[in-house]
């Protein structure tokens, strides 16, 4: 398990997550060492200290909130976009 990241005093943003999935998100973010707090009947509060933390929060949220089918469709679209770049000839 990673140790919690230290927040730098400059740009720190707080994000709140409502709903039934907040505990699952909280547990995964704790495993990743991301600073967050989740109390009973309160939203999950997440401290965003850098762009890497933001991407991890986004990724964890997608994995928990989207269905397997939605995730598979998103991944297929990424592959299609990656494949279309190979067919474009430079000018």
3-state helix/strand/coil string of the chain = CCCCCCCCCCCCEEEEECCCCHHHHHHHHHHCCCCEECCCCCCEEEEECCHHHHHHHHHHHHHHHCCHHHHHHHHHHHHHHHHHHHHCCCC
pLDDT tens track, the chain, 91 positions: 455 555 454 556 777 787 888 999 999 999 999 999 988 888 888 899 999 999 999 999 999 989 999 999 999 998 888 777 655 455 5
Domains and CATH numbers, the chain: 13-86 (3.30.70)
- CA dihedral 70→31→53→68, nearest 10 degrees, is 0
* pTM for this model (two decimals): 0.68
* Among 61, 56, 53, CA closest to 70: 61
């Amino acid at each position: 398990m990673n140790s919690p990241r230290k927040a730098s005093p400059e740009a720190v943003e707080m994000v709140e997550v409502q709903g039934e999935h907040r505990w699952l998100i909280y547990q995964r973010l704790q495993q990743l060492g991301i600073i967050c707090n989740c109390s009973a009947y309160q939203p999950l509060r997440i401290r965003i200290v850098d762009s890497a933390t933001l991407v991890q929060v986004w990724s964890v949220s997608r994995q928990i909130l989207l269905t397997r089918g939605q995730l598979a469709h998103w991944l297929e679209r990424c592959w299609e976009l990656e494949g279309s770049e190979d067919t474009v000839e430079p000018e």
